[in-house]
Structure 1
Amino acid sequence: MTVNILKRKWHKVTAVISFILILLVFAFSLFVNSHWSPILAKKLKEVVATSSGGLYNVDFSSAELRILRGSIVFYNITLKPDTAVYNSKKKLHLAPNNLVELHIKRLTLSHIHPLKLYFKKKLDIGEVIINNPEVHISYQLNHTKDTVLKDNRTTWQKISKSLRSIHVGNIIMGDIKFRYDDYSGNKLAISELKEMNVSAHELLIDSTTQKDKSRMLYCKEIIAELNNYTFKTANGLYSGKIDHIKLSTLKSQLNIEGLTLKPINAEDFFAKSHKDKFTMHIDSVQLNHFDFLSYHKYRTLNASNLLLKNGAIEIFSNPNHFKPPTDRVATFPNIGIYKINANMKIDTAFINQINITYTEFNAKSNKTGSIYFNHTSGRVLNLTTNPVALQKNNVSSVQLTSYFMNRGKFNLQMSFNLTDDDKTFDYKGSLGPMDLKIVNSATVPLTMVKMTSGTLKQFDFDIHANKNKATGKITLLYNNAKVALLKIDTVSDNLKQRAFASLYANIFILKRNNPDIEGGPPRSVFVNFERESDFPFFKYIWQTLLSGIKPSIGLDKKTQDATVEMTNQQAIYQQNRKVKKEQRLRKRAERRKKREEKKLAAGN
């Protein structure tokens, strides 16, 4: 009996104590909400104002402190620049290149330590979750390097009177709406991003990290990810898509997956442009040791290497034969690199397994032909427009290995002078053994010549060129070369063989072997080719090589002139035969008519 009474009393005492504790916690929560939230809000506003030099102001509609959960929730946060402060800094050449506006519907701070903030002046937060933020950044180039500020204190030094340290374990931002206005060009360029997520880890501002260069914005790591990004070029001729982008500041690495660039339909494209049409898809693009902060602040693109892996590039030559009024030297790589309009320095660009296709339409045959460079791999050194880097080394070199028409192994070395006014460059290479009939998919539609037999043993070239002319040596080794010359069949619109011309070419023009006899000295041709102003870069290279290939197989100038003369004589002969045939047919018709008239007269 006594035991039961004691049990009942103990239960009552426990219940009363629990109820009192709940009331105390509730009362304490109300007290904290009414006192601590304003204190924290004040501290945050002070931190933002002091750390930005008065450039930014932060505000929010309300804040809610949840003691039991150890969290604070802010609603409708806005971060805006003070335009008066910005303009005054701009006059002093101290304004930043980027201005940020931010709106957040809901921001949650979890695992906070208010007592540590109050008694130790340490802002310690376990996690920050930002829901549906809207970020608007405006870029205007005010300076290209860090300006010397009168107040050159670190962020920690600026806030040290109010706070000893700021620590945030994780910052998570999901489903970001991002707008970027770029005022650096001739007209405003606007970029808008969706499906963007950003996370930051171990943010720490204190005396130990104030000059820690391994951190980005005082964070151990910032990861930004973007999915399904689509865009259009300024001229409206191309649309693009990127499946996934990921930036890691800890690794200093930018990864792009599924980069695609497509032109509008061919008819509209060539109606609006006199340029060649490009299509591109790259599975993977990786930029290592990427200095994101320099790019964000000054548009300087610095990286140790660039990796392009698995993809295809297709080029379709513009069929509209338009001769531009200006020199097309702008198509040279050592000029085109400056069109990127960025201060760039990439030590090495690696290319791995890229298929390249060049297609051209021939109006004479009314057909298209293509040449292929499959499984292209290699590297490009010193890819730069940086003035300081160019003073040390002004030459960019290229080494590539490919398979021509997916058969013959093709090695190519190129070098470009990036500062020379004459735009000098060199290229040398070799093409390994292959069956010459493989090239018919290109030669038949483009040159109306069909290789009926032949084996390429080796093709070597070594050319030195500038924007005006190219000189060098070409050696083409082959066996048993035979061709068929083609013409349009006016009935079927297909190509058919020109029997007499093919026979003449194989007997009197074409040199079937090089060397002429086995073991003999090979023929080499020294070229001296002058570039026409309307020749773009790749046409210039091809025409230079062709000027050496033709005499190698027997089509030197003398032979070409003789061939033209023979062709003209044959054309005259064919025309004379046609005229004589028409005359015979006309005379036959006249005789037939006279006979019929005589019969009619005799009958009467």
Structure 2
Amino acid sequence: MKPIWKWIIGIVVVLIAAVFVVGWYYSRNWKPIVEIKLKETVSKSTNGLYTLKYDDLDLNITLGNATLKNAELTPDSAVYNRMVLAKEAPNSRYHIKLAALKIRRFNIWDVIKNRKLYIKDIIFESPDIHMISERHAYNDTIQPKQTKTLYDNIKDVFSSINVRDINIDNVKFKFSKIEEGKTSDIVLDSIGIKVHDILVDQASIHDTTRLFYTKMVEVEVPKFEYDLSNGIYKAKFDRLLLNTQDQNVLLTKVEYAPKMSKAAYFKAKNQNVTMAVMKFDTLRFEKLDFKELIDNQQTIAEQVQIKNGSVSLYNDKRYPTKSSSKIGKGPQQQLMKVKQLIRIDTVFVENVDVLYGEYSAKFNKEGVITFDNARGTLTNVTNDSTVLAKDKFMRANLQAKIMNAGLLKIQFGFDMLSKDGYHTYKGSLGRMQAPAFNKILTPLLNAQIESGNIRGISFNYQANDYRNWGDFRFDYDHLKLNLMNAVDPGMSKTKKGALSFVVNNILINDSNPDANEKYHVGKVNYKRVPQHTFFKTIWQSMLDGIKQCAGISKEREAKLMGAAETGKEVVEETKGVIKKTGNFIKGLFKKKDKGEKEEDKKN
């Protein structure tokens, strides 16, 4: 070997030895300094709310590695209570435990020379995170004080900190919400979190492409199930994916349903309270503002997609109904009452089946009406007064196949700022056969539509908390009813035939235009029963239009009664038949509650 190579090898060996000696020195002498600075920084940056403790700090400056073993970040309850009294406490606090916190590949020379810290990877081992949420009203009303940024807290030590990747796998996460002195918990296992490109320097806080100094945060949550506080319902999903860079949240196999059967639900409630079952294959938020969601619990998104699912609602008339006013409880009014701000530009609904089922106390059967393959959009879904000042209407444009037959199209317009719940709705129903409605008619009224061809329906209504008014058009022909045992199960076959004849040939027009080629238009001015829900009021307004188009008016009933009174031989029989027919029609088209019956007595 030539002498020159000996010198080169010798120099390299000396340099390597020098690096190790310096590394060893700094590892031994920097360790207590780093420990003090680390704990001091945590306490200072959180105003004393948090303390950091750990079993050991393994610092290898030569390799650029550091490991905190059995680390724990703990909130101080005494400090938090003082902050609450001073109206400075945050809504959320955290208790975090780690088997190990590993920092890999940092450059000590860059720290010494330029005060810049670059870290290639940070790894969290066996993290256990407990988040406690306790809302304080002053955080919504008091202007926050000017607080120090993360950069302000580190600038005396570092001019910048850059972390390429943070990996947190198999996280155990517990979320505790304290509300009115009561605590509810959600526990999640096996959460995966990835954070990419964290930069803390003088300018990064103002970088709009970053969320809390990060370029991207990915979260994956598998298999979530939660029993709601009422003990009856549960919520669950199969998978949640969150990406802050794309501003998207995806949930799959979402379900909200009782933990029991229909029979057990109504028995437990001992009341006719609507049971809801909702299932969706896909629930997606796009362009969601994560910063506002985290900081202020505000839901701001460009789009929400609800795809491939079902909504089923059930009532059971065998149980008593709690009578209470539904005035001021329309969907738009309920949205305006939500405390947290909601602002969604567009909600897309695709392929959702809607079912309403009702169990009859009289006939012990369940009738159902379905709206299949519902799809459409809701726009300007918000309770944000600043947005509503520019456009006060929330709109819904929906369509579905009613009874999987006729195509129903409907458009809603909700005046979100109206004090009396003003809204509009208009739409149409395409061709279908009327007997399709027997699925709800027969179980609830023990009657059938034998035949009937619906050529089309169109309607245009305005409404508020007290009235629905507008035009209703109903084109049909060959309508024929079979009353079965609807009026009196003990009635003879002959009388049933006579009653059906009166209904089909006298009381109801079998077509519109009728036999005299007169076209009937429903001029609806329906007074709302306060105990009726928003959607039941719409249904009753529709039925009022159907009755008018079918020729079932109060005047016509009065004339029929007058004609019956003039007869001599059949007066009592005809009068009885017509009276029973009238009662049947009321049951067929409008099931009245106590409030309506009292109103009829007054009239």
TM class by shorter chain equals 0.7 to 0.9
The counterpart of 2:104, out of the listed 100, 110, 121, is 110
2:465 aligns with 467
Alignment of 1:392-407 (within 5 A): 392-407=390-405
Give the 3-state SS of the residue equivalent to 2:427 in structure 1: strand
The counterpart of 2:190, out of the listed 183, 189, 195, is 195
Aligned residues with identical type, % of pairs: 26
Q: Deviations over 1:452-499 (max 9, x none)?
A: 22211111111222222222111100121122111179999xx99943
State how far apart, in whole Å, the 2-side matches of 1:148 and 1:275 are.
43
Contact 2:310 2:353 in 1 (8 A): yes
Q: Deviations over 1:556-600 (max 9, x none)?
A: 224556589868735999xxxxxxxxxxxxxxxxxxxxxxxxxxx
State how far apart, in whole Å, the 2-side matches of 1:399 and 1:195 are.
40
State how far apart, in whole Å, the 2-side matches of 1:307 and 1:63 are.
48
Q: How many residues align?
A: 563
- Cα distance change of structure 1 residues 159 and 216 upon mapping to structure 2, 3 Å threshold: same
Deviation of 1:40 (Å): 3.7
Alignment of 1:541-580 (within 5 A): 541-560=538-557, 562=560, 569-570=576-577
- Cα distance change of structure 1 residues 162 and 566 upon mapping to structure 2, 3 Å threshold: farther
- Tell me whether 1:123 sits opposite 2:120 in the alignment: no
1:584 aligns with none
RMSD between aligned residues: 3.5
- Tell me whether 1:227 sits opposite 2:222 in the alignment: yes
- Cα distance change of structure 1 residues 205 and 293 upon mapping to structure 2, 3 Å threshold: same
Q: Deviations over 1:113-167 (max 9, x none)?
A: 2232233322211011102211122223334459656654432133211111111
State how far apart, in whole Å, the 1-side matches of 2:420 and 2:120 are.
61
Alignment of 1:58-457 (within 5 A): 58-66=52-60, 70-142=64-136, 143-144=138-139, 151-185=146-180, 187-263=182-258, 264-273=260-269, 274-320=272-318, 322-329=320-327, 331-338=329-336, 340-457=338-455
Code of the aligned partner of 2:114: K
Code of the aligned partner of 1:569: G
What are the ranges of 5 or more consecutive residues in structure 2 without an aligned counterpart? 565-571, 581-603
State how far apart, in whole Å, the 2-side matches of 1:114 and 1:47 are.
19
1:52 aligns with 46
The counterpart of 1:539, out of the listed 524, 536, 539, is 536
What are the ranges of 5 or more consecutive residues in structure 1 without an aligned counterpart? 1-5, 574-604
State how far apart, in whole Å, the 2-side matches of 1:496 and 1:351 are.
51
Contact 1:100 1:137 in 2 (8 A): yes
- Cα distance change of structure 1 residues 37 and 486 upon mapping to structure 2, 3 Å threshold: farther
Deviation of 1:184 (Å): 4.4
Contact 1:488 1:496 in 2 (8 A): no
- Cα distance change of structure 1 residues 377 and 567 upon mapping to structure 2, 3 Å threshold: farther
- Cα distance change of structure 1 residues 522 and 60 upon mapping to structure 2, 3 Å threshold: same
Q: Deviations over 1:390-409 (max 9, x none)?
A: 44443321110111111111
Contact 2:427 2:459 in 1 (8 A): yes
Contact 1:122 1:166 in 2 (8 A): yes
- Cα distance change of structure 1 residues 118 and 148 upon mapping to structure 2, 3 Å threshold: farther
Deviation of 1:358 (Å): 0.8
Contact 1:97 1:298 in 2 (8 A): no
Contact 1:461 1:473 in 2 (8 A): yes
Q: Deviations over 1:351-410 (max 9, x none)?
A: 111110111112233211111111111111222223433444433211101111111111
Contact 1:141 1:298 in 2 (8 A): no
Code of the aligned partner of 1:442: I
State how far apart, in whole Å, the 1-side matches of 2:333 and 2:267 are.
26
Contact 1:372 1:404 in 2 (8 A): yes
2:595 aligns with none
- Cα distance change of structure 1 residues 309 and 496 upon mapping to structure 2, 3 Å threshold: farther
Contact 1:94 1:147 in 2 (8 A): no
State how far apart, in whole Å, the 1-side matches of 2:140 and 2:154 are.
25
Structure exhibiting the larger radius of gyration computed from Cα positions: 1
Code of the aligned partner of 2:315: S
State how far apart, in whole Å, the 2-side matches of 1:446 and 1:567 are.
26
- Cα distance change of structure 1 residues 560 and 323 upon mapping to structure 2, 3 Å threshold: farther
Comparing 252-261 with 27-36, greater Cα deviation is found at 27-36
- Cα distance change of structure 1 residues 327 and 514 upon mapping to structure 2, 3 Å threshold: same
State how far apart, in whole Å, the 1-side matches of 2:289 and 2:45 are.
23
Give the 3-state SS of the residue equivalent to 2:204 in structure 1: coil
Code of the aligned partner of 1:394: K
Q: TM-score, normalised by structure 2?
A: 0.84
State how far apart, in whole Å, the 2-side matches of 1:502 and 1:206 are.
85
Code of the aligned partner of 2:360: N
Deviation of 1:310 (Å): 1.2
- Cα distance change of structure 1 residues 281 and 369 upon mapping to structure 2, 3 Å threshold: same
Contact 1:195 1:228 in 2 (8 A): no
Contact 2:328 2:465 in 1 (8 A): no
State how far apart, in whole Å, the 1-side matches of 2:296 and 2:549 are.
53
Give the 3-state SS of the residue equivalent to 1:329 in structure 2: coil
Contact 1:324 1:534 in 2 (8 A): no
Deviation of 1:232 (Å): 1.8
Deviation of 1:506 (Å): 2.1
State how far apart, in whole Å, the 2-side matches of 1:48 and 1:497 are.
89
Alignment of 1:586-601 (within 5 A): none
- Cα distance change of structure 1 residues 72 and 96 upon mapping to structure 2, 3 Å threshold: same
- Cα distance change of structure 1 residues 371 and 151 upon mapping to structure 2, 3 Å threshold: closer
Alignment of 1:16-27 (within 5 A): none
- Cα distance change of structure 1 residues 352 and 572 upon mapping to structure 2, 3 Å threshold: closer
Q: TM-score, normalised by structure 1?
A: 0.84
Give the 3-state SS of the residue equivalent to 2:182 in structure 1: coil
- Cα distance change of structure 1 residues 530 and 213 upon mapping to structure 2, 3 Å threshold: same
